Chain A
């Protein structure tokens, strides 16, 4: 009888193992589906504080006003002006012809960088009505962290830009 009980217990354990394996595979597939869906979902419909260019978002005055998404690629600093709050996927055009940034590097040195407009032709932007700016300098290569300050005419008013790269600036 003891042997039979041990046999039964063994078989039940195997059974649970298979059942869990089958269920987990379905759940895992579901999780993967959900992850894929969530990833694609977030790209399209979860713009809340989502940096659409994989840069860092820096609030302009407050998060609700707008953001300056910032990214360094090689020797180029790229800045996209985008909406505030949940609207970080929508560009905001500024009339500035150039933007002056004062950049403070980790070794406490300050450098100036001029950003020039790079109009999005597909959105019929032009200089003076542009949401994307770029500035090049050799000392940007390999720069992992910096703070920057500047000014921009954003949504009809002259506002301060504060950039804290790479963590982003959010005063709220």
Chain B
């Protein structure tokens, strides 16, 4: 009978404790994989891509608040900026384009942003990628062309079951209980194809429609026709590139120049977002610690299972020794069992972990518009199998040494 056969027979004989050990290790590993994968992908989504926006021109206030509102349709803008100032900024030699927007309205919990119609043609939601209404890509209809038209992001349309021709009345505010523009009914003429960005979670209306919504007052209505008094929440800016596609180095000078004014500030998302992770970074450290703890506890469980199994098998091992098995064979048996259990747990945990990420990414996409991938290979994927081998060896080491030192004579003594 070969060593492997003995190992598999032993595992089958103790199938309950083996199964429990495999399951608990798989659980710990799955937690570890999913936490690290989601953490790395979050970091990538929030910091590295910049969501296609080089800079946001916004009012004075918290830069983080401006980025959260402009990029993720969260929070509120801390004020307004003058249209005339925006025009001055886009005349700067390093600015290639600007798309003004006004935030502050909502519908059914989703933000309604008034925006320039070039948003749908010139804006890059990711570097090199433009919005689309292509049916084959999951979109429908077209962008707005008149005052009473609106466009829905893909996630909004899916969650509210919006079809072309449906109407809605925007809410003047983003909080529950804010007044509704009952006399301003807008019609959905377009649904954007999914982009995997937070822009899927917003509704867009024409910029000038905002000023003429009933209830905003004559002063605001005047802004629709008079650029001198017009105000906006902010603008997405596209900065010129230099060789190699890098941002023009003059962006820092532009940022400095704008910051000296009392009117506005320039916020560069890739500079601000790492600070967000600094603030919440401790949360994923704790999650990681919990996942590591669960895995260690699972290994401890395996260790105790092996120790108790060894007690039951003393006579069997003594018998094997008396039949010619060497000490190192017995040692190897226990170690192999332990490594097999942890390896199996590790492989199952890998599958469970990616399954958790797959389920989580679906809900994250619906809730935030951000795209996470179940197939993403994180640092944990590379180290999990070797780590399981090591942990299996360590968990089985003491029982294996005990088996190695087992006295044949003592354990073959008749019991009755």
Could you list which residues of chain A lie within 8 angstroms of chain B, going by C-beta atoms?
1, 3-4, 8, 11-12, 14-15, 18-19, 21-22, 25-26, 29, 33, 36-37, 40-41, 43-44, 52-53, 89-91, 120-125, 131
Contacts and interface: CB of A to CB of B under 8 A. Distances in A.
Interface in B38-69: 43, 47, 63
A4 B331 CA distance: 9
Given A4-B328, A44-B271, A121-B88, A19 B390 contact: yes
Contacts of B397: 8
B386 interface: yes
A149 B256 CA distance: 26
Interface of B is mostly: helix
A8 B401 CA distance: 10
Given A33-B43, A33-B277, A90-B260, A40 B393 contact: no
A29 B288 CA distance: 14
Given A4-B328, A15-B394, A33 B259 contact: no
6 contacts: A1-B327, A4-B327, A14-B390, A18-B390, A52-B252, A122-B261
B78 to A, nearest CB: 16
Contact of B404 (A4, A37, A124): A4
Given A3-B328, A37-B278, A44-B271, A18 B386 contact: yes
Nearest to A131: B260
B272 A40 contact: yes
B257 interface: yes
Interface in B327-341: 327-328, 331
Most buried by A among B63, B260, B379: B260
Contact of A122 (B92, B274, B331, B390): B92
Contacts of B275: 37, 40-41, 44
Given A41-B274, A43-B252, 5 more contacts: A21-B383, A33-B281, A90-B260, A120-B257, A123-B261
B253 interface: yes
Nearest to B390: A15
Contact of A25 (B274, B379, B404): B379
A98 to B, nearest CB: 21
What are the 10 closest A-B residue pairs judged by CB atoms, nearest first? A123-B260, A15-B390, A40-B271, A123-B261, A37-B274, A122-B257, A91-B260, A22-B383, A120-B257, A37-B278
Contacts of B260: 90-91, 120, 122-123, 125, 131
A93 to B, nearest CB: 9
A89 B256 contact: yes
Given A22-B387, A40-B271, A123-B260, A11 B281 contact: no
Contacts of B203: none
B258 interface: yes
A153 B375 CA distance: 64
Contacts of B281: 33
B71 interface: no
Nearest to B273: A40
B302 interface: no
Contacts of B259: 89
B205 interface: no
B89 interface: yes
Interface in B61-106: 63, 85, 88-89, 92
Contacts of B274: 33, 36-37, 40-41
B32 to A, nearest CB: 10
Contacts of B331: 4
B199 to A, nearest CB: 24
B383 A18 contact: yes
A18 B256 contact: no
A52 B258 CA distance: 13
B257 A22 contact: no
A166 to B, nearest CB: 18
A58 to B, nearest CB: 18
Contacts of B383: 18, 21-22, 25
